[in-house]
Amino acid sequence: MNFVLKMAWRDSRASRRRLILFSLSVVFGIAALVALGSFSVSLTAAVRSQVKGLLGADLIVSSRLPLSSAAQRHLDSLGGSQSHGEAFTSMMSFPNSGGATHLVQVRAREGGYPYYGDFVTDPADAALEWRKVAAPEATGDADVAILEDTLMNQFNVKVGDLVKLGNANFKVIGALKKLPGESIAVAMLAPRVLIPLRAMSGLGLAGQGSLVNYWVAMQLPEGRDPEVLVRDMRETFAADQLSYDTVAARERELGRAITNVDGFLSLVGFIALLLGSIGVASAVHVYVSQKRATVAVLRCLGASGSQAFSVCLLQGIALGIFGALLGGILGVGVQAVFPALLKDLLPFSVEFSIAWAAVARGMGAGFVLCVLFTLLPLLTVRDVSPLEALRSADANLAQPRRGGFDPWLGIVGGLIAVAVAGFAAWQTRSVRMGLGFAAMLALSLGVLAAVARATAWAARRASPRRLPYVVRQGIANLHRPNNRTVLLLLSLGLGTFLVLTLFFTRTALLRELDTAGGGDRPNLLFFDIQDDQIAPLNRLMASLGSPVLRQAPIVTMRISALRGRPVADLTKDRSERIPGWSLRREYRSTYRSELNNLEKLVAGKFVGRVPASTQIVPISVEQGLADDMRLKLGDEIDWDVQGVTIRSQVASLRTVQWRRLEPNFFVVFPEGVLDGAPKFFVAAVRAETGAASAALQRAVVLNFPNVTAIDLSLVLATVDGVIGKVTFVIEFMALFTLATGLLVLTCAVINGRYQRRLETVLLRTIGATRSQLAQIQFVEYAVLGGLAASVGSLLALVASSLLAHFVFQIPPAAPPLAFFVSIAGVAGLTLLIGRLADRGLLDQPPLEVLRAENS
């Protein structure tokens, strides 16, 4: 062991600079993993904080009746902060507008709610004034109100004006600009009005048939999981018919856009480290090929194959330690300067901190993978014969191992597969995804290795005698001794595969986010439009420059029986495990002949029209509702449509993009059955400004007094804010890792220059010009870069499609232009880096290089 240690140290003296260059690949990979791991913790916490602004609290518990004393005691035992409130709809009168009335959603609140998100008013101090008046310990007058901005514009209400609600008059102290806490569905019902909870006693509305919703908003202590608490309360207080709202539920309203951030960040870290591992494996392969002569000399002097292997292995371990330490330091340094670099770029505040667990994980995983990837090329050292010290350089080839397959090669390969799968599972917190990543990586490695061998075979068989010498020589370089075909195709192909997989996945995620955001969505809804009003309203909106973007008829109905059992029986039977709200609620359903662009059929066949005499009507049910009600294709549902029973059968299931805030429905009937039923229409338009929205609402109120206008600008602003922040996180992390990938690919190409050093000098010695050498290199790099880019891009297309479908559950995205640009870009990058890397070789005197090689 003493000999091995001394020899490893002495042998490294002549190649330490080269070892440092080789280590850059793993340094960059580990630095990226450490920086991304630590930074993603900060970013994820910031995004979670922003998402909490959609709810305004950690947990909201609500009920149609005041909470029971047992339920309230349970909430008190959880600790944290509480705010109580009541919510109901009522008519508000506007004395300064001739006594006009409008349906509003009253929010009577107390306490510190909202705990998260922005509560914005105009003037800004109105929010502070309202909080003081609404505090539980406050005394004195509570006759103040904050109205939604568009409601004030519609009825020309100014700050200081009086509005009437029930028996009480309220002084308007400000306009509501932004308010956390309202769900997307609730926000589409009516404009909101905030009043202190203390003011409820003077309204004279409670107890007169008003449907009041009582709720408690909670800010939970650190470490309390709202989802776990909700599961426990559902079982403990099942008879209380409580409803629960959590941040996770609000995330689901946005689809998988928010929950996919964690998965994407995990993918980023996984790819960053694999890029570094690939880089170090290719670097060690080059290093070992250069050390074969040294190993042969050691064998001549009496060293065993295991001793020679141990010398190189110690150097590889030192390389891994150096890369892990330097990569960890660099990653922490990058994380430390992020606040200064990104202060003016981040669209939201982020509390930067170093996540030491992520640092340790990145360094440890980087070291392990570095050593394992180093072992693969090092295994050939054991087979170096002492005779190689006497052979020519061209004969220094890896000889096939006697006895056939090397078991250690299988063992190391198995360890690498286990390590990669384990790290992927650790990163993604999913064994299934970890195994999937490892399987796709193994498939890509096998495909690229097969392509590399096929390329070398084809180059050996081809005899392009009529082609110019530089082309023939460039093609011959693909199969001749010390060729780089396998090395570069594997390193460049896998690098391209990983980088483009990340890019295509990022494109799919951003496309999904774009469907949730975007500036073309309706932000103004009109309800209660009668049959004879829908056509005139369309003409009015068109004349005002805001044509109706979407309209739908709505028929109200309730479920009377499910699968032949009356609803009354089902609500008493707990074994059915069907939520009571889904059986008792009033459904607002529609009918049409086809799906719209916000829906996707997932099962069955959508039926768009049936005869009016159809006995059992085929309907389409939203997937989430079907899951809650345990519905499957063929199940029958009986509907009470305003006193008339209609039998139906589930013919199809579909998903709906609820986050688009457009007229969407749980149940869609075909045309021909409900056409003559009592109904009203809903119409969606887009107003570009708040003033335009107010003008549209005034015009509708003037021409159609019964029509209710709902402005969605507040909710859209909140949703867009969160989605914008998530988009930034995805863009930034993807670009950071793409830059890391380019550095690793650059190192892989630069490392290959040492394999061509002696051959280039020999060609110069026998008369080759610099121009010819450059053209030979161009041909070689063009073939290898083009093949690696093409195969890697195709593999990335497959991998990103699998990720989109099975992991992120979104449609895949691979724009054709981006696909071909990626191929051309990687091939061009290979040519450029190869040309720059080999340029120094052409400038060195041949004699100097020959002396260096023979020394």
Give the residue from 500, 25, 38 showing the smallest Cα distance to 265.
38
Kindly state the average pLDDT of the residues 293-318.
Answer: 78
What value does the mean pLDDT take over residues 241-252?
Answer: 77
3-class SS string, 450-516? HHHHHHHHHHHHCCCCCCCHHHHHHHHCCCCCCCCHHHHHHHHHHHHHHHHHHHHHHHHHHHHHHHH
Q: How far apart are CA 34 and CA 328, in angstroms?
A: 6
What pLDDT score was predicted for residue 209?
Answer: 47
Instruction: List pLDDT tens digits, range 556-569.
Output: 899 999 998 898 88
What's the chain's average pLDDT?
78
More confident residue, 850 or 819: 819
pLDDT digits (tens, 9 = 90+) for 36-87: 666 666 666 666 666 677 788 889 998 888 888 999 999 999 988 999 999 8
Per-residue model confidence (pLDDT) at position 570: 82
Give the model's pLDDT for residue 198: 87
Q: Any idea what DSSP says for residue 680? A: E
Nearest CA to 118 out of 176, 178, 49 is that of 178
Q: Which residue has the higher pLDDT, 686 or 270?
A: 686
pTM for this entry: 0.63
Lowest mean pLDDT among 124-133, 200-209, 308-317: 200-209
Q: Is 739 helix (H, G, I), strand (E, B) or coil?
A: helix
| pLDDT higher than threshold 80 for residue 472 | yes
**b/e 526-560 (16+ beta carbons within 10 angstroms → b):** bbebeeebbeebbebbeeeebebbbbbbbbebebb
Residues 6+ apart with CB under 8 A from 2: none
- Mean pLDDT to the nearest integer, 798-802: 87
Q: If pLDDT is split at 50, 70 and 90, which confidence band does 540 have?
A: very high
Q: What is the pLDDT of residue 120?
A: 85
User: Is residue 113 scored above 90 in pLDDT?
Assistant: no
Q: Check residues 721 and 179 and name the one with the higher pLDDT.
A: 179
**Contact of 108 with 199, CB cutoff 8 Å:** yes
Tell me the backbone φ, ψ of residue 791, rounded to 5 degrees. Answer: -65, -45
Tell me the mean pLDDT in the region 725-731: 65
pLDDT of res. 394: 45
Q: What six digits make up the tokens of 691?
A: 């003033």
Q: Which has the closest alpha carbon to 222: 60, 45, 74?
A: 45
| Tokens coding 91 | 């008519």
* Residue-level pLDDT at 283: 65
- pLDDT score, position 734: 65
- 3-class SS string, 521-559: CCCEEEEEECCCCHHHHHHHHHHCCCCCCEEEEEEEEEE
Mean pLDDT for 276-300 is 71
Query: What's the rounded Cα separation, in Å, for the pair 742 and 209?
Result: 68
* 425 vs 680: which has the higher pLDDT: 680
Residue written as token pair 């309800």? 527
What is the average per-residue pLDDT within 240-259? 70
Helix (H, G, I), strand (E, B) or coil at 833: helix
Query: Kind of pairing, strands 667-669 and 587-591?
Result: parallel
Tell me phi and psi for residue 352, to 5 degrees.
Answer: -75, 135
Six token digits for residue 851? 């002396």
Instruction: Work out the burial of residue 14: count CB atoms within 10 Å of its CB; fewer than 13 is exposed, 13-18 middle, 19 or more buried.
Output: exposed
Give the pLDDT score at 393.
45
- Check residue 624 and give its pLDDT: 84
pLDDT reading at 188 higher than 70:
no
Q: How far apart are CA 819 and CA 354, in angstroms?
A: 36
Residue 329 has pLDDT above 60, yes or no: yes
Say what the pLDDT of residue 535 is: 93
Which residues lie across from 682 on neighbouring strands? 552
Amino acid, single-letter form, for residue 269 = G
Work out the percent of the chain whose per-residue pLDDT is above 90.
15
User: To which H or E segment does residue 229 belong?
Assistant: helix 226-236
- What is the C-alpha to C-alpha distance for residues 473 and 780, in angstroms, rounded to an integer? 9
Answer whether residue 840 shows pLDDT above 70.
no
pLDDT of 534 reads: 92
Nearest to 793 by CA among 436, 424, 446, 448: 448
Spatial neighbors of 833 by CB under 8 A, at least 6 apart, are: 745, 746, 749, 750
**Distances in whole angstroms, Cα of residue 24 to Cα of each of 291, 328, 500, 740:** 20, 13, 22, 11
Q: Please say if the pLDDT value at position 402 is more than 60.
A: no
What's the pLDDT at 583? 82
Reported confidence tier of residue 464, pLDDT bands at 50, 70, 90: low
Q: What is the mean pLDDT of residues 375-401?
A: 62
pLDDT surpasses 50 at 208: no
- Asked if 598 contacts 521 with a C-beta cutoff of 8 angstroms, the reply is no
Stretch 224-236: mean pLDDT: 88
State residue 607's pLDDT score: 94
Query: Are the beta carbons of 125 and 62 closer than 8 angstroms?
Result: no
Q: What is the mean pLDDT of residues 802-811?
A: 78
User: Residue 591's pLDDT is what?
Assistant: 95
